[in-house]
Amino acid sequence: MTAEDPGPVGSFSWEGFNWQKRFWGGAPMYNGSWDPNNVSNPDANGHVKLSLSNPTGSAPVGAEFQSTREGFGYGTYSTTVEKDISSLQKEVVWGCLFTYDPNAAPGYTEIDLCEASAWGGGAAYGEDWPVTQGHGYWFDATKPPGQGNNTVTFGVTNAPILTHRMVWEPGKITFETFAGEGYSGTLLKQTVLQGSTVPVPANEQIHFNLWVTGGGGGDPAHVAPESVTVRDFSFVPGIPLTAPTPTITGTAAVGKTLTANPGTWTAGTSLAYQWYRNGASISGATASSYVLAAADQGATLTVRVTGTKNGYATATKESAATATVAAGTLVAPTPTISGTLTVGSTLTANPGAWTAGTTLTYQWYRSGVAISGATAKTYTLVATDQGDTMKVRVTGTKAGYTTVNKYSAATAVVS
């Protein structure tokens, strides 16, 4: 499942996902009454408004919308909300963002990024409780609050805008609530909950809701209309990996080996490599090292390192470019000559071991003067050679390498 999967078509599309306005009755609204018209479509600013209505004055109606996509899992969730939470009526619950799969036991993967309420105001009518916010999750929904959940509550401010962020990773959830839009405002609360009770991903959906609780000593039937505006939502799958920028070592010349140095990634990360020539990927060049080929001459090379780890977001880092790749230098030994130095005998050039793949050509010399047509590896001495010395030149050529000429030592005088 990727961040690009919007889910099936629902009531509206928003922030890259499809969403369904709730039209069915039931919990958690104390009277089970919900109205899809209490959820607006995104406005010109991309904001979605939830309204709690009470058309008869004694029968409030809640608002909820949820993602049509099932299954988000580990990653970073974020939302910005426009609402002075301190002004919430004590019977009203602002569900904010929470994940939930009703079929995933025992915890139903309900993770509450931020829920705010006074929960009815107290055990008896007229008793006041403060409105608090909560970060937390259910690990066993068969048990009551305080036993089956792991929740941390904190006080509210009258900040008109709050931004909430949640990072869900294996065995750990980090919650953050900031005053204002974005993450540069005051951090009101950071909660880190970890251990074996942290939910594991299932087919959870993302919900936003505004509803009325019948618990405590409040007066749920006569709540006044409320509204909350959700400015945005984002989900980035997986947890960010520690991903340094790779470097390249080695000489930038044809025939030389370049090595990618990936740096220190998050422990347990699997790394893959891809080399690039002038920004274009090189087919098959997927090892941590790369031998420069003739096609690389005159180009610059980079390498991209991609890290993957279960529960983390895949990351790709690219190195800086190398210097322009120079022509290679051939391994070119000095040739020798074997054979008897008498007219009619055959001399043989022994070129030695050149760089693999080098094409060799020959030229024989009589007392330093090139012999016309004597361009084979062997040469049969003729009468004209008598009284002269012989020498051979071996020329090596290979694509991407500098051409090299190597001369043998001169022989003794031909008899």
Distance CA 293, CA 401 (A): 10
Q: For 238-382, where are the E strands, in sequence order?
A: 247-249, 257-261, 270-277, 280-281, 289-291, 301-308, 315-318, 328-329, 336-338, 346-350, 359-366, 369-370, 378-380
The DSSP bridge partners found for residue 25 are none
Query: What domains sit in the chain, N to C, each tagged with a CATH number?
Result: 12-237 (2.60.120.200), 247-326 (2.60.40.2700), 330-407 (2.60.40.2700)
Distance CA 24, CA 33 (A): 8
**Mean pLDDT, rounded, of the chain:** 95
Distance CA 124, CA 127 (A): 6
% the chain with pLDDT above 70: 99
pLDDT tens, 77-130? 999 999 999 999 999 999 999 999 999 988 888 999 999 999 999 877 778 889
In 3D space, the residue among 93, 106, 104, 114 whose CA is nearest the CA of residue 173 turns out to be 114
pLDDT tens, 29-50? 999 999 999 999 999 999 999 9
* 232 pLDDT more than 60: yes
Q: How many residues does the chain have?
A: 415
pLDDT attached to residue 374: 98
pLDDT tens, 270-312? 999 999 999 999 999 999 999 999 999 999 999 999 999 877 8
In 3D space, the residue among 45, 228, 51, 82 whose CA is nearest the CA of residue 162 turns out to be 82
